[in-house]
Amino acid sequence: MAIRRSNMGFLLLLVALACTLLCSPRAVPRALVVADEAPADDDGDTFFTKVFAAAAQGCTAAFVAAILSAMSEPVVNRLLVKRMTVSAALNDVQIADVAKFFLTTFPTNMLKFPVFEVINRAMMFTSLSPGVSGFVSGWLFCTIMLPVTNYRFRKSMGWPIKPELLYQAYIPTVVRDILYGWARGLAGPFLLDLFAPTTFFHKAAVFGLTIWASCILSSPCNEWRGFTLQPPEKKLPFWEYFKPINYARSTGIGSTIMGIALMIGMLVTPYAETAFGYLKEHVAVALSVVALIVALAK
């Protein structure tokens, strides 16, 4: 009961924080890394200038996403691989686990986000068609980052890290990433044209909906990946793992969590930029925040 009360208090704190951010009368600055807009063409910009700028922008988004991922990934991965119910997955993840997992999500995001941005911007300087460019980007990113992805996955599940398993589930993962990139490229423009958002919040909502739709469209490969990642001693048979109720729960709830998390990430990224500026000028406060995170992770 105490654990449930603690988890509920944590969720209420998150809701209160979101409401504070959304209801704040301050003008919302432009988010650094959320839109899929091409960088403005300046005569002085070179390939390396744009690539390094994209990497720096990716680092900003990495911190925000690391916080959200630390809260959402342990639950989503339990739904995907262990086929838990939502309540069982929530009860299996404690606040201390979230704080500890942040120490994994942040450094891995600092690798993944800049690499993705560099690859994405580099493809803009090629003559490849959007479809081929997306295919190459997805394949290249997955091939480079799969050890990081699988390391992070095993950390979220509390499983031991084995070097020989860092390239586990390569085929389903690379196909999923390519399909996800294609789905996002298809759903994004369609939803923008359909809803024509005008405010920052509306754009964030459409962005979250785009992520949700992309996760749904690429879900068969994600489920394939989850089936492959099961430990041999606890592996469910094919027909049991892919029961319609299991598939619907894992895909529906997992996609919804990812959509909401990235929508919130888009909304809070401008505030994170402001917070970084404050912490840069107040080193003592920054060190206190780091000490608090480390203390919670113990």
pLDDT, one tens digit per residue, over 31-75 is 333 344 444 444 445 656 655 555 555 566 677 778 888 888 888
Q: How confident is the model at residue 296 (pLDDT cuts 50, 70, 90)?
A: low
d(CA 269, CA 200): 12
In this prediction the pTM is 0.68
Which has more confidence, 86 or 196?
A: 196
Q: Is 144 within a domain?
A: yes
Mean pLDDT, rounded, of the chain: 76
d(CA 19, CA 42): 38
Q: Is 41 within a domain?
A: no
In the three-class reduction of DSSP (H, G, I as helix; E, B as strand; rest coil), residue 132 is classed as helix
d(CA 261, CA 63): 13
Q: Is 267 within a domain?
A: yes
Which has more confidence, 113 or 145?
A: 145
pLDDT, one tens digit per residue, over 121-177 is 788 788 887 677 778 888 898 999 999 999 999 988 888 998 888 999 999 999 998
Count of domains observed in the chain:
1
Q: Is 31 within a domain?
A: no
Q: What is the CATH number of the domain that holds 253?
A: 1.50.40.10
Q: Is 151 within a domain?
A: yes
Domain range holding 253?
A: 46-297
